[in-house]
Amino acid sequence: MVSKAWHYSWSSARAHTGKKYNWITLSNINKILTVSNWKQFLEESENKDFLQKLRMRTKSNMVLGAEEFILKLERLLNRKILPNPNGRPQNKKSRVRP
């Protein structure tokens, strides 16, 4: 075990903190996440509420993010991501029985 993520030779944290990393070519993560100081970012304490939501969504194969973000993903992927409401859909025309 290492005390810091960037000390582990296989960790992509090495590349983000300016250390030598030749295992794989990393994508430009700045398109998704902008971090000015990776060491500080990696040492921040974890948000327990966020981790609980992330684990819950991961177990159910659901996306975690703001509704605007998820709707953007749906448009980009041309696929529904948000779950449908529970229960049977209501009829569009309400039928009245005699």
Q: Hey, where are the domains in the chain?
A: 1-44, 46-84
Mean pLDDT computed over 59-88: 87
Helix residue spans in 1-98 (DSSP H): 13-16, 38-43, 48-59, 67-77
Give pLDDT tens digits for 24-35: 777 777 677 788
Q: Is the pLDDT of residue 96 over 70?
A: no
pLDDT of residue 94: 60
Give pLDDT tens digits for 11-54: 777 777 777 777 777 777 767 778 888 888 888 888 999 999 99
pLDDT of residue 63: 86
pLDDT of residue 33: 74
